[in-house]
Amino acid sequence: MADTTVYGYRRSVYVRIVRLALEEKAASYRLVEIDPFAPGGLPAAYLERHPFGRIPAFEHDGFRLYETGAITRYIDDVFPGPALRPGDAKGRARVDQIMSLLDNHAYRTMVWDVFVERARGGADETRIAAAMARADTCMRALEDHAGDGPWLVGSGLSLADLHAAPIFAYFRRTGDGAALIARHPRIAAWWAATDARPSMAATRFPVEETA
Ligand SMILES: N[C@@H](CCC(=O)N[C@@H](CS)C(=O)NCC(=O)O)C(=O)O
CATH of the domain at 34: 3.40.30.10
**Domain identity same for 40 and 126:** no
Domain-ending residue, one of 78, 101, 128: 78
**Domain identity same for 10 and 108:** no
Does residue 129 lie within any of the structural domains?
Answer: yes
Q: What is the pLDDT of residue 196?
A: 98
Q: What is the pLDDT of residue 66?
A: 98
Average confidence (pLDDT) over 7-11 = 97
**Domain identity same for 167 and 131:** yes
**Domain identity same for 99 and 125:** yes
- Greater confidence, 15 or 120? 15
84 close to ligand 1 (CB < 6 Angstrom): no
Output the residue whose Cα is nearest ligand 1's atom 15.
54
Q: What is the pLDDT of residue 5?
A: 98
**Domain identity same for 55 and 126:** no
163 close to ligand 1 (CB < 6 Angstrom): no
Domain-ending residue, one of 12, 46, 78: 78
What is the pLDDT confidence band of residue 90, given thresholds at 50, 70 and 90? Answer: very high
Does residue 84 lie within any of the structural domains?
Answer: no
14 close to ligand 1 (CB < 6 Angstrom): yes
Lowest-confidence range among 23-27, 38-42, 58-62, 162-166?
38-42
Does residue 113 lie within any of the structural domains?
Answer: yes
Strand partners, 64: 59
Ligand 1 atom, smallest distance to 55 CA: 12
Q: What is the CATH number of the domain that holds 127?
A: 1.20.1050.10
Average confidence (pLDDT) over 14-34 = 98
**Domain identity same for 47 and 123:** no
**Domain identity same for 69 and 114:** no
How large a percentage of the chain has pLDDT more than 70?
A: 99
Does residue 23 lie within any of the structural domains?
Answer: yes
Residues 4, 5, 10, 14, CA torsion sign: negative
**Domain identity same for 53 and 94:** no
Residue 148 has pLDDT above 90, yes or no: no
194 close to ligand 1 (CB < 6 Angstrom): no
Does residue 83 lie within any of the structural domains?
Answer: no
Q: What is the pLDDT of residue 121?
A: 85
Output the residue whose Cα is nearest ligand 1's atom 13.
54
**Domain identity same for 42 and 66:** yes
Ligand 1 atom, smallest distance to 56 CA: 20
**Domain identity same for 143 and 203:** yes
What is the pLDDT confidence band of residue 68, given thresholds at 50, 70 and 90? Answer: very high
**Domain identity same for 143 and 179:** yes
Site to probe by mutation for ligand 1, drawn from 31, 54, 58, 108 as the one with most ligand atoms within 8 Å of Cβ, is: 54
| Overall number of domains in the chain | 2
Ligand 1 atom, smallest distance to 14 CA: 10
Mean pLDDT in the chain? Answer: 96
**Domain identity same for 99 and 40:** no
b/e string for 185-200 if b means 16 or more Cβ within 10 A? eebbebbeebeebebb
Q: In terms of residue numbers, what domain contains 103?
A: 89-210
Q: What is the pLDDT of residue 123?
A: 82
Span from the CA of 68 to the centroid of ligand 1 (angstroms): 9
Q: What is the pLDDT of residue 1?
A: 59
Domain-ending residue, one of 32, 58, 78: 78
Identify whether the C-beta of residue 88 lies closer than 8 Å to the C-beta of residue 120: no
Identify whether the C-beta of residue 3 lies closer than 8 Å to the C-beta of residue 178: no
Span from the CA of 8 to the centroid of ligand 1 (angstroms): 10
Residue 22 has pLDDT above 90, yes or no: yes
Residue 211 has pLDDT above 70, yes or no: no
Q: Which helix (H) or strand (E) holds 57?
A: strand 57-60
3 state SS of 140: helix
Contacts for 47 with CB less than 8 Å, ≥ 6 apart: 53
